[in-house]
Amino acid sequence: MKAPIYSLALAVLLATPLPVAAQTVDAEAIVDALRTDLPGRGKRGLTILDDEDVPPPAIDLRIGFDYNEATLTVEARQSIRALATALSDERLASLRFEIIGHTDARGSDAYNDDLSERRALAVASSLTTDHGLDPSRFVPSGRGERELIKPSDPESGENRRVEIRTILD
């Protein structure tokens, strides 16, 4: 009788999904997402829309922050390393970027605005201090909970993120 129970336990164990590792950030994917010289992007691409109608190239990165914190986690530092590599690439080296912090919907609007700004500043500081990038290339700002990536679950950790947006001059 024990064999079927062990088989059932093994089947349940194998069917249970394992935790997924933190988002793997690829520097080349970041470069492609932020470039302005691709068709339909930026001022060099041909577009039918007015410049004001075309959103700037951007990427949401899951740069990890613990709940209620603006301190970079170990995983966040790995993501920032890939981001720094991408931003050092010759295809992006002359561009400026807005670093936008976001929070989940827990907490007051004023608190979340401050927290999201501190998160953006933490990323910008790491890019400049730890990776030697020019601070004039970055404009950190916080959006609090106003632009949830998962509005169906406003308190989800997925909403705690940093967005990198190319500044089109």
* DSSP codes joined into one string, 9-36: HHHHHHHSPPPPPSPP--HHHHHHHH-S
* Per-residue tens of pLDDT for the chain, all 169 residues: 444 433 333 233 233 222 223 345 688 888 888 888 766 554 443 344 445 566 788 887 778 788 888 999 888 899 999 999 999 999 999 999 999 999 999 999 999 999 999 999 999 999 999 999 999 999 999 999 999 999 999 999 888 889 999 998 7
Pseudo-torsion of CA 105, 115, 54, 137, nearest 10°? -160
Q: What ranges in 74-133 are assigned the alpha helix state H?
A: 74-88, 109-125
Residue 27 is encoded by which pair of tokens? Answer: 């520097």
The pLDDT value recorded for residue 39 is: 60
pTM of the model as a whole = 0.75
Pseudo-torsion of CA 23, 24, 25, 26, nearest 10°? -150
The pLDDT value recorded for residue 37 is: 79
Please tell me whether residue 58 adopts helix, strand or coil conformation: strand
The pLDDT value recorded for residue 26 is: 82
Please tell me whether residue 150 adopts helix, strand or coil conformation: coil
The pLDDT value recorded for residue 132 is: 97
Residues 6 or more apart whose CB falls under 8 angstroms from that of 130 comprise 77, 80, 84
Residue 97 · residue 138 · CB < 8 Å: yes
The pLDDT value recorded for residue 46 is: 38
Residue 38 is encoded by which pair of tokens? Answer: 């691709």
Dihedral (CA of 25, 160, 119, 137) sign: positive
Domains of the chain: 23-167 (3.30.1330.60)
